[in-house]
Structure 1
Amino acid sequence: MVRSTSDGAPMGRRTLALWTILAAQLMLQMDFLIVIVALPQIQQDLGFDPLALSWVPNAFGLAFGGLLLLGGRLGDILGQVRAFRTGLIIFVLASLLGGLAQTPTILVAARVVQGIGAALAGPSVLALVMVLARNDAERAKGMSLFIAVSSVGASAGLILGGLLTQFLSWRWSLLINVPVGAVVIFMIGRLVTETRPRRSRLDVVGAITATLGSVALVYGFISAAESGWLDVTTLSAFALALALFVLFFRTEKKHAAPLLHLDLLRDRGRVGALGVMALIVGMHFSVVFLLVQYLQQVLGWTPLFSGLAYLPLTATVFIISHFVPRLMNVFGAQALLVTGSLLVATSLVGFALLGDRSDYFPAVLVPLLIHAAGIGLVFAPGTVAIMHGVPEEHAGTASGLLQMDQQIGGALGIAVITSIYAFGAVPGQFGSGLPAAFIGAAVIALFAAILAMRTVSRRLQAQNSTAGIHPAS
């Protein structure tokens, strides 16, 4: 049981502690996408191969998602404050290394270490928000602020990344974490008292096999684009991924304290919702990854305006998410998941029509708004479907599984769509590969709609779940 020793602290002190923790959450949420606006400059400065460029966001996402469950367990064992500070120290040092990187290898390695730090610090954020609350009202307020910060984090990353890249350097999209993180690290130990550590066994093999299996799978798709599907390296990567995932599930089945309780995967609706969520988040991140490069390389937009171009998406997702719980109670989760996935597929067909002379309005903005509506209709029902019926003792594991599903789904989505893009691309003409990439993404989104229709219960409604809901934009 987590024990708070901050009771009786002055309201101003608890408020400052809460916002300090939320500042870290905002920083971690921004980091997957903050570098995407800077990708053209990173490629030019460090000499990245176009396909290898996807490792800049993916290295972070894979390490973060793959080690998330282990990070949550370490928070229980070490104490939440200690895990939080240790993770942030790792994250900040890796940000400094990445900001100073002179080669692609160093930058990707730094992004991996950033993900490791985020995986250790991230799970402790919500735990510490709950520790600070003295009653249900403060707990609800803290949760609402946590959801709000998480909701705007990715879009804020795009805008801030564009601002820093345009007026300073792409390096500051990483270096900005150093002063912010240093302040949080300094203040957190003085504002929040440590929680009581709990003894537990560590499933290190499970964490390693899950992470390396995901990396091997992503590398397989990138290798397929570079060398072909029958290349020895490609086939070896996919074979290694399969072997690692088999070992992961065997480990989870036998381990006394597994990171993932396999009973959670016996529910057909939950597994289906995890699949839908991973597919749609993957297609969403692919849109962001390709579209920001299209805006800069084809339309000639600045990094700042490329980031601001996503504001309509954020606003639309935020507005629609407000009405989704009521829509779920009327139509059910399945209907919204199917409709949202079909809207995402429709938007991707619209993006496939982009050309060298397309204007932001209507060629980009209209599909972007349709895409936002689809994302808004998928994320909340997907969250409810995943968390529905989870026993209280497994709620933390299920929440970690949801976050892992999103991070790894996003990384895999970028890898898959980038590999499709490469087959249709003409060197030196960025827009040439977009039709194939976006049509491929539309087919995957259509499959997500079919998966939702076949697996998720029609009767599942928002009022039947207590899951926290926030958009993935």
Structure 2
Amino acid sequence: MTAPTTPTAPAAAAMAEDPGTPRLTSRQRLVLVLLLGSQFMLAVDFSILNVALPDIGRGLGFSLANLQWISTAMMLPSAGFTLLFGRLADLAGRRSMLLAGMALLAAGSLAGGLATGPAMMIAARVAQGLAAALATPAALSLLTTSLPEGPLRDKALGLNGTLMSAGFTIGAIFGGVLTDLLSWRWAFFVNVPVAVAVIVAAPAVIPESRGKRTRLDLPGAVTVTGGLLTLVYGVTTAGRLGWTDPSALGWLAAAVALLTAFWRIELRAQAPLAPVRVLTRPTVTWGNLGGLVTFAMESSLIFLLTLYMQQVLGYSPLRTGLSFCGIGLAAFVGGLLAPRLIGRFGTRAVLTCGLLLQGVATGALFLLGDGGNAAMTVLLAASSAGAFGHISAIVGYMVTATSGLPDAEQGLATGLTSMTQQVGVTLGIPVLSAVATTRAHATGSVLSGVHTALLADAVVVLAGAVLVGTGLRRRH
């Protein structure tokens, strides 16, 4: 029950004891523990059910074709509503939005653990997705407004990135352990006491925070939310039915139309949901592009390695989950070191080099064979190196995309970074899954499909590194 908050307390203390960093006050340490704990728990939720899906399907009567909706039902609202809820946090109060998200998460998790059929499970996952959209940008903006811009905030964002990345990995481990030893229902129940603890403690520790009150840009809110929902649904449909499927192409076309309409509305709105002057800032544009690339391709990598270990090496869900421990450790170390690297070399260098390391390490996984100790040595070494680069890129993009903006716009900035994270996590897997499946069908070899998808992953990350490095250089 205490797993989400255990890593944050010593990390926060380490920040306070670093002689090169201003000291955190006692209240700031408590704020940090609460906010990072909530972020960690939300990250765990995105991956904890992945290895449990077959058991849930058998227990609740999901057909094989509908099993993917257990994941998609959470991903759709979490990606679609994050930007809107991040802006609402600026207006209605960031602490209020965090508490609302935690309350909805507790209710959705309890419903999921008690689910008796597919409809109840899907409703619970939608509630969890909306909770993530409510709480993630609110927690991030509370973090950035609670600490002054500079080394202290950079370290806090580094810890946040570390715990988010570790949460995705630990979620896979928890999912395997809980499913094998207890029941998949405990993957839901563990959230409830942690969410309740945040709800009880936050009002006494975290002051309310909001930006300048203004009218809500309703047309902008409708178009961007609709555009993101149709984009995510279109990509997941294409990954399931193929990229030439008429329905998938129709959803993607609708997404382009809605997002184009959103841009045009923001150019003319008196009180825009996302001011174009913010969206076109080089730090916001290129920082979020780097975040989109690193999240999309790392989540895809975890999927591809799961496919490789279970279908090529024949590993059990528990052994597969435990094999990701090296990735989690490397991500934790990277998150602690990345702020220091930013202080020495700057955000552009850390973001770009993190992407380069992630891309090169992913490319090295092409050496994976069909078994033996050598295959696991390559997997552990390359995936750990890539995880270090990945978390460095996460910290680099978060610092880049939230720096130089006033507190009144931190909800928007952190909403954008949260949206980038959740859209990336959602979009990456369907795209590379389609690549792997197409190649596997053509060759009759799952390993061949994994190899092709890994190369595509590496190419995308390396191209992203070049684009981000070039784009951020032009701002000077």
Q: For the superposition of Structure 1 and Structure 2, which TM-score range results when normalised by the shorter chain?
A: 0.7 to 0.9
CA contact (8 A) 2:359 2:458 kept: yes
Matched, 1:299 2:299: no
Are 2:127 and 1:113 aligned? yes
Residue 467 of structure 1 corresponds to none
2:198, 2:334 → 1: CA distance?
A: 33
Q: How does 1:87-102 map to 2 (within 5 A)?
A: 87-101=101-115
Name 2:379's counterpart in structure 1.
364
Cα drift, residue 297 of structure 1: 4.3
Superposition deviation, residue 424 in structure 1:
2.4
Do the aligned partners of 1:278 and 1:408 also contact (CA within 8 Å) in 2? yes
Deviation per residue, 1:181-201 (Å, 9 max, x gap): 344435555776766897432
How far residue 112 of structure 1 moved from its aligned partner, in angstroms, is 2.5
**Contact 1:276-1:449 at 8 Å conserved across structures:** yes
Residues 425-436 of structure 1: matches in 2 within 5 Å? 425-426=440-441, 431=447, 433-436=449-452
Deviation (angstroms), 1:242: 0.6
Aligned to 2:428: 413
Map of 2:417 onto structure 1: 402
Q: Deviations over 1:63-115 (max 9, x none)?
A: 22332233234344444444333222222222233334455565444323212
From 456, 459, 465, the counterpart of 1:440: 456
Residue 425 of structure 1 contacts residue 432 of structure 1 at CA under 8 Å; is this kept in 2? yes
| Partner AA of 2:423 in structure 1 | I
Q: 1:304-363: CA deviations, max 9, x gaps?
A: 433332222222233334444454566554444443333322333333444442546313
2: distance between equivalents of 1:197 and 1:392?
7
Contact 1:37/1:293, CA 8 A, preserved across alignment: no
- Write the distance in 2 (CA, Å) between the matches of 1:143 and 1:343: 20
Where does residue 10 of structure 2 map in the other structure?
none
SS at match of 2:50: coil
Q: Distance in 2 between matches of 1:162 and 1:429?
A: 26
Given the alignment, which residue of 385, 400, 411 partners 2:400? 385
- Measure the CA separation in 2 of the matches of 1:45 and 1:406: 31
* SS of residue matched to 2:296: helix
Q: Are the aligned partners of 1:348 and 1:442 in contact in 2 as well (CA < 8 Å)?
A: yes
Alpha-carbon separation, structure 2, partners of 1:443 and 1:147: 23
Q: Distance in 1 between matches of 2:28 and 2:339?
A: 31
* 1:317 matched residue in structure 2: 331
TM-score, normalising length: structure 2: 0.78
Name the SS of the counterpart of 2:331 in structure 1.
helix
What does 1:30-429 correspond to in 2, within 5 Å? 30-42=44-56, 45=59, 55-101=69-115, 106-126=120-140, 149-150=163-164, 152-186=166-200, 188=202, 199-268=213-282, 270-328=284-342, 332-359=346-373, 361-391=376-406, 393-426=408-441
Change in CA separation of 1:219 and 1:47 when aligned onto 2, cut-off 3 Å: farther
Please give the alpha-carbon distance, in whole angstroms, between the structure 1 residues aligned to 2:287 and 2:211: 33
Q: Which amino acid aligns with 1:209?
A: T
Query: Letter of the aligned partner of 1:375 in structure 2?
Result: H
Distance 2:351 2:154 in 1: 27
Cα 1:45/1:426, change in 2 over 3 Å:
farther
Report deviation, 1:40. Answer: 4.5
Query: How far did 1:408 drift?
Result: 0.9
Matched residue pairs, number? 449
Specify the alignment match of 1:471 in structure 2. Answer: none
Indicate the larger mover: 281-290 or 357-366.
357-366
Change in CA separation of 1:100 and 1:204 when aligned onto 2, cut-off 3 Å:
farther
Question: Aligned with 1:257: secondary structure?
Answer: coil
Relative to structure 1, the CA distance from residue 282 to residue 106 in structure 2 (aligned partners, 3 Å threshold; closer, same or farther) is farther
Deviates more, 1:232-241 or 1:263-272: 263-272
| More deviation, 345-354/50-59 | 50-59
Amino acid at match of 2:272: P
Q: Deviations over 1:118-162 (max 9, x none)?
A: 2223344356668999xx999999888766655643333233223
**Where does residue 463 of structure 1 map in the other structure?**
none
Deviation at 1:285, TM superposition (A): 0.8
Q: Classify 1:280/1:189 alpha carbon distance in 2 versus 1 (closer, same or farther; 3 Å).
A: closer
Counterpart amino acid of 2:384? L
Using the TM superposition, give the Cα deviation of residue 274 of structure 1 relative to its aligned residue in structure 2, in angstroms: 1.8
CA contact (8 A) 1:320 1:373 kept: yes
Unaligned runs of 5+ in 2: 1-24
Paired with 2:112 and 2:255, the residues of 1 have a C-alpha distance of 27
Distance in 1, matches of 2:416 and 2:333, equals 26
Question: Quick check: 342-351 or 97-106, which moved more?
Answer: 97-106
Partner amino acid for 1:238? L
Match of 2:465 in 1: 449
Residue of structure 1 equivalent to 2:14: none
Pair 223,294 (structure 1): closer, same or farther in 2 beyond 3 Å: same
Q: Normalising by the residue count of structure 1, what TM-score does the alignment of the two structures yield? A: 0.79
RMSD after superposition: 3.9
Aligned to 1:31, the other structure's residue is in SS state helix
One-letter identity of the residue aligned with 1:233:
S
Q: Secondary structure at the match of 2:47?
A: coil
In structure 1, how many angstroms separate the alpha carbons of the residues matched to 2:215 and 2:37? 31
